[in-house]
Amino acid sequence: MPHRAFDAVTVRCPRLGGPVKFGYCRELEGGLPCSRALVCFERSFPVAEYFRRVLREETYERIFVTGEGSRDRVSKILDEVSRARDRTRQR
């Protein structure tokens, strides 16, 4: 299974609200796959098997099993706001 074999497969992205190619989702977050890629592409090709072959086991677990990679954009923004608020209180 070549590394980029499925890059042209397109589905509707629930985050962006339009069609997105797997190649985009494969390297979305800092070079790591989008945490929703398994759900979005499961009907198109064996996406879980693909990621198990191309990712290290601990990376696969962190992104798709434990959910560390699944935080959405709003959660990340709220965390940043909270940290900023804590920094201003410490001054």
Ranges of each domain in the chain: 10-90
Phi, psi of 10 (to 5 degrees): -120, 135
Taking each continuous run of H as one helix and of E as one strand, the counts in the chain are 5, 2
In the three-class reduction of DSSP (H, G, I as helix; E, B as strand; rest coil), residue 56 is classed as coil
- CA angle 14–6–28, rounded 5-degree value: 45
What pLDDT, on a 0 to 100 scale, did the predictor assign at position 89? 85
Q: Give the tens place of pLDDT for each residue, 36-88.
A: 999 999 999 999 999 999 999 999 999 998 866 555 566 667 777 888 888 88
What pLDDT, on a 0 to 100 scale, did the predictor assign at position 45? 96
